[in-house]
Each structure stands twice: as C-alpha cells, then as structure tokens.
Amino acid sequence: MLRANQRGSSVVGTAAARSAQGRVLVVEDEPDVAELIRYNLTREGYEVVVASNGADALKTARELLPAVILLDIMVPQLNGWEVCRRLKQEADTSAIPVIMVTGRVEEGDKVLGFELGADDYVTKPFSPRELVARIRAVVRRGRQAESSGKKTRLTAGELQIDRERFEVTMQGQPVELTRKEFELLAVLVGTPGRVFGRDELLDLVWGRDGFVEPRTVDVHVARLRAKFIAAKLPPPGVETVRGVGYRFRDGKPGP
C-alpha cells in the first residue's frame, strides 16, 4: 500500500513488510521510477520511504535515520549533490550509506559524488537485481565497520580522532571532514608507518562494489591536507609513497 503525506514524501509498507532488511529512503521525483524501485525493494523485504525533493529527503533522513539512501541527483529544491553534502557533514546522518542514482553518465559527476561522501553510484537504466545487490553491499560494509572492533579514539601527537563522536581535532581545534576523509585519515593513523596502496585504501574506505578510481584516493588526501592548512593548523602526517600509496608518520606533515 502506497500512502502519500502532505510534505511530498510517501511511506510504503505495513508491519509485515518491515523486516530485518531495514528501511531504505528513496529520493526520486519521477513517480514511475520511484514505484519501480519501491516494488522491487519491498519484494526483498525492505521498508521503503519515498521523498520527491531534496528538502523532504533531508528532513526524512534526519527523522528516520534509514539503513541506506538511494539519492537521485536531479531532484527539485535541493539537488542530490547538496543533499549528500549536508548529510555527510552532520554527525547523526554521516554514517548512513548513500547510493547516488542518476541518468547522468559523465565520469566527473561520479567523482564529485564520491568526493562528497557517496558510497556507491548507479546509472539509469539499472536492473532491479543490480540495485538490490548494491544496497546489500553498502549495508554489509557498514555493519562490518561497526563490528570490526576498531579503537574508538586515536591519538598521534596533537592529532586526535574520536570515532564515536565523528570528531577530529589538531592542537585542540576541530577540523571538519567528510565521512570518507575521516575514514581515510583514521585508517592511516590507526597503523602508523605502514604503507597502504591505493587499491587497499579503496577496499578499506570505499569497498570495491562501486565505481571508484584509484585517483579518488589522491583527491581525498589532497582535500584532507587542504582542510588542515585552511584552518591554519599543521597538516596531518600523511606521506605520499611515490608509485605505491600513502602512510602516516606521527607528527610529520606529508608532502
């Protein structure tokens, strides 16, 4: 049963449809596409909530904290990129996996989505089986990260990382990072001195189920360093190991 509310969002399903698979927020302004996604996800046991514009998507995500968000880029009021950016900057919603769904196929659009913190990218037209597989993959990665037993706090000199609060400070001053920048820094700081290849960092931070190029790692490292510099703080000790990848050296800024 499809039930629409006055905000332009719709909630699908009864108590019987709400299974352990979790809740999916679908942000899509084309009714036929939204219904197709809703139908296939409900068949797989997901509870589905539909928002038809970016403003409703933000409100619904903050209220319901879904297991995953399928986010179309070209939605009214706030486009998908802006919605993703805001979600990834807020502590309560930053860990929610976001799969960008769009008809745009330019590589630059995909890179931008990942730079904003998107976890995966699906291009229309897509098969229902592919979509369900992508959802399962990002949810599985999120659950594995939660149960991996990582330290909740990391300290390296004047750099401190708090995983529970999603906070990074240098010399006591907070540094605002996206989710991917945060996770990338935490991986490197968690094993100082070890060299991580780009492909390995893709596995650990992005997973390998989506479209992510190795140079995306370089972009995130550059943005990470730039944010410390912009805050007039010493950059974190992330060193470039030419031809290989990156490592963290405590207290030593990277080139």
Q: Please say if the pLDDT value at position 4 is more than 60.
A: no
| Beta strand pairing call for 120-123 and 98-102 | parallel
Residues 141 and 90 occupy one common structural domain: yes
The CA distances from residue 202 to 33, 90, 171, in Å, are 31, 23, 29
**Per-residue model confidence (pLDDT) at position 206:** 80
Residues 6 or more apart from 31 whose CB is under 8 A from it?
A: none
pTM over 0.85: no
Q: Please say if the pLDDT value at position 16 is more than 60.
A: no
**Per-residue model confidence (pLDDT) at position 138:** 78
Rounded to an integer, what distance in angstroms lies between the CA atom of residue 194 and that of residue 179? Answer: 22
Residues 136 and 158 occupy one common structural domain: no
Q: Please say if the pLDDT value at position 139 is more than 80.
A: no
Dihedral over Cα of 89, 253, 169, 165: its sign: positive
Residues 136 and 180 occupy one common structural domain: no
Residues 161 and 90 occupy one common structural domain: no
Q: Is residue 255 part of a domain?
A: no
Residues 50 and 162 occupy one common structural domain: no
**Per-residue model confidence (pLDDT) at position 19:** 45
Q: Which range among 13-17, 113-117, 171-175 shows the weakest confidence by mean pLDDT?
A: 13-17
Q: What is the pLDDT of residues 156-171, one digit of tens each?
A: 889 999 988 889 999 9
Q: Name the 3-class secondary structure at 34.
A: helix
The CA distances from residue 136 to 18, 68, 130, 149, 245, in Å, are 16, 9, 10, 21, 29
Residue that is last in its domain, among 98, 120, 146: 146
Rounded to an integer, what distance in angstroms lies between the CA atom of residue 177 and that of residue 200? Answer: 21
Maximum alpha-carbon separation in the chain: 58
Q: How far is CA 10 from the centre of its chain?
A: 24
Q: What is the pLDDT of residues 103-118, one digit of tens each?
A: 766 667 777 777 777 8
Average pLDDT over residues 73-83: 92
Q: Name the 3-class secondary structure at 30.
A: coil
* Mean of per-residue pLDDT scores for the chain: 81
Q: pLDDT higher for 203 or 105?
A: 203
| Amino acid occupying residue 63 | E
Residues 87 and 137 occupy one common structural domain: yes
Q: 53: which 2 tokens?
A: 């514009």
Residues 182 and 131 occupy one common structural domain: no
Residues 140 and 118 occupy one common structural domain: yes
